[in-house]
Amino acid sequence: MELPEAWQRAVVPPLPSAGPDVVGEFARTIYGSTPVGGELTDLVLRSRDSGAFDRLHHRAVITCPLGDLELDTTTHLPAGASPQHPAPLVVALTFKADDAPPASVLEAGYAVLTVDYQQIEPDDPNAHGGVRTLFEAGSWGAVAAWAWGLTRLLDIAGGIDGVDPANAVVLGHSRLGKAALWAGAQDERFAVTVANGSGCCGAALFRHPGGEDIAAITSRFPHWFVPSFSSYAGRESELPVDQDQLLASIAPRRVYITSAEDDAWADPVGEYLAVVAAQPAFGPNGIGYHLRPGTHDLLEEDWLHALDFAKQ
């Protein structure tokens, strides 16, 4: 892939050194500490739509310390998937309950397990309910709650015939790309983590000027992070971490970052530089990057590039 001139000219800025507890530092500084708990206690198949590709609808009950969370999940199965021949799995949150993966993903042999992200935690700083209310008071933001949900989806996959949860791929776009990265950093069962257009607090470096910054993101979405994170607005150079460390923390498991050339708010150059800076933590083919023309969206080609990488 030939990168545009702006990418070729870009230089990795000075970055902080990683301490001994990188994931813990990200929890304290940005995302919050995910509490222990949340057990799958019931999984019921509610319907199965058969066609070129089967679609399964399950109701899952996750028992938390202060109550139960019920999730309505959708599993898209490729042709030929069965308990005897389970399909490799992609786990993803969606922005709407009826969002479906491209048919070409299923034709490539993957099963895709999804749930509407707001079933896990409302995307509203003034909303009540959500999984964070089902734990004793703690400091974790909505991005961490959605990441917790991705881990629960992997638990759910173990009870669904026709899918193989081993070596699963976790994939997310935009704010859900941030959640995918945080899930991948914490749950070693995810073999490949894919973040598409994840931008600020996702794959993009804080210390690369461009796109959304801490002041903008914490003003619009204060509920995504720990409250103290907003104190770094305008002080990005004082952060004890940067996002290359988050990518590197997933090694030796694999990471794939995708950007769109005109997705300026997500700072695609900053995403690319984070991949460059994280590269030494990975072996050959351990981290990949793709840039396509266009704007902020998750397209079929993004899925296919990521899954081609996952197969390597």
Domain boundaries, the chain: 80-311
Model's pTM, two decimal places?
0.98
Omega before 78 cis (within 30°)? Answer: no
Residue 98 pLDDT grade (very low, low, confident, very high; cuts 50, 70, 90): confident
Strand-pair category, 67-77 with 111-116: antiparallel
Residue 97 pLDDT grade (very low, low, confident, very high; cuts 50, 70, 90): confident
Q: For residue 116, how many other CB atoms are within 10 A of its CB?
A: 17
pLDDT in tens, 150-189: 999 999 999 999 999 999 999 999 999 999 999 999 999 9
Q: Of 76, 173, 174, 208, which residue is the catalytic one?
A: 174
Question: 173 catalytic, yes or no?
Answer: no
Pick the CATH number of 80-311 from 3.40.50.150, 2.40.37.10, 3.40.50.720, 3.40.50.1820: 3.40.50.1820
Predicted local confidence at residue 24, as pLDDT: 97
pLDDT in tens, 187-245: 999 999 999 999 999 999 999 999 999 999 999 999 999 999 999 999 999 999 999 99
Question: 174 catalytic, yes or no?
Answer: yes
Q: Any idea what DSSP says for residue 32?
A: B
Residue 47 pLDDT grade (very low, low, confident, very high; cuts 50, 70, 90): very high
pLDDT at 297 over 70: yes
Distance of CA 294 to the CA centre of its chain: 21
The 254-260 sheet, strands edge to edge: 39-49, 54-64, 67-77, 111-116, 87-94, 163-173, 190-196, 254-260, 287-292
Q: Of 57, 139, 230, 296, which residue is the catalytic one?
A: 296
Predicted local confidence at residue 1, as pLDDT: 67
CA distance 1 to 213: 28
